[in-house]
């Protein structure tokens, strides 16, 4: 017990808080939640904005299928329950990253309002920026960067958003992008401007 007493006396370390980290980084944490059809441009816009911010000294992260579906959520399939759990966990990781002071981009179709609203509800109001990456289905399908629409049309992918499963548009997103008219750089600038207006980055 002597040691314990001694360590109680000499103890002067506190738990590092979010504000401590944000002070060190020189910016605040926030989640930029991009939602939209496959092929709408979510990942490209997330990477572009992340890159621009990084170049101005902001610590960023991008959560997308590449690093989540093959890692944290490798146990999940595509049933309705699994899709919901997929988005729930992503929302929790986004919250963790925000708490570390990171500007984190989430780039998943996330087609259901209630799932996006859950992800929003676990963060502070100012920390969550929903971005509707809007492209007409025809445009997204024509781009079809991964050949998924072709497979979905051929019936090889069941419940494909926009073809055989619904996409619920955000009712009041903080940002509404139109990627059939705006290029990725313009979209990224609009997001960064919104982060500046909110005092998240300089």
Residue for token digits 């991008």?
Answer: 62
**The residue count for the chain:** 202
Stretch that binds a second copy, among 51-59, 106-114, 157-165, 169-177 (CB under 8 A): 51-59
In the set 30, 59, 177, 192, which binds a second copy (CB under 8 A)?
A: 59
Judging by DSSP bridges, how do beta strands 103-107 and 128-134 pair with one another? Answer: unpaired
Catalytic residue (one of 19, 79, 110, 159): 110
Q: Which residues, listed in sequence order, are joined to residue 105 by a DSSP beta bridge?
A: 32, 62
Would you say 100 or 165 has its CB closer to a second copy? 100
110 is catalytic: yes
Whole-number Å distance between alpha carbons of 142 and 184: 17
Geometric angle at alpha carbon 50, from 195 and 28, rounded to 5°: 40
Decide if residue 15 touches a second copy (CB under 8 A): yes
Whole-number Å distance between alpha carbons of 40 and 141: 9
Whole-number Å distance between alpha carbons of 61 and 97: 8
Site string for a second copy, 74-113 (x = CB under 8 A): -x---------x---x--xx-xxx-xxxx-----------
**Looking only at residues 114 through 173 of this chain, which bind a second copy when binding is defined by CB under 8 A?**
122, 142-143
Q: How far is the CB of 12 from a second copy (least distance, A)?
A: 9
Q: How many chain residues are in contact with a second copy, going by CB under 8 A?
A: 50
Active site residues: 110
């Amino acid at each position: 017990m002597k040691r314990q007493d001694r360590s109680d006396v000499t103890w002067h370390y506190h738990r590092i808080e979010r504000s401590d980290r944000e002070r060190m980084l020189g910016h605040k944490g926030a989640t930029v939640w991009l939602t939209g059809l496959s092929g709408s441009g979510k990942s490209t816009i997330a990477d572009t904005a992340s890159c621009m911010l990084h170049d101005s000294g902001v610590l960023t992260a991008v959560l997308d299928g590449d690093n989540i579906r093959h890692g944290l959520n490798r146990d999940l399939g595509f049933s309705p329950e699994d899709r919901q759990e997929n988005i729930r966990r992503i929302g929790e990781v986004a919250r963790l990253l925000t708490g570390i002071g990171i500007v984190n981009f989430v780039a998943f179709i996330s087609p259901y309002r209630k799932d996006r609203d859950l992800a929003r509800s676990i963060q502070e109001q100012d920390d969550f920026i929903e971005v509707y990456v809007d492209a007409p289905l025809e445009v997204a399908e024509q781009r079809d960067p991964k050949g998924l629409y072709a497979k979905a049309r051929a019936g090889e992918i069941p419940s494909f958003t926009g073809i055989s499963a619904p996409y619920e548009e955000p009712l009041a997103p903080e940002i509404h992008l139109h990627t059939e008219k705006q290029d990725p750089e313009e979209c990224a600038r609009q997001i960064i401007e919104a982060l500046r207006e909110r005092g998240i980055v300089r």
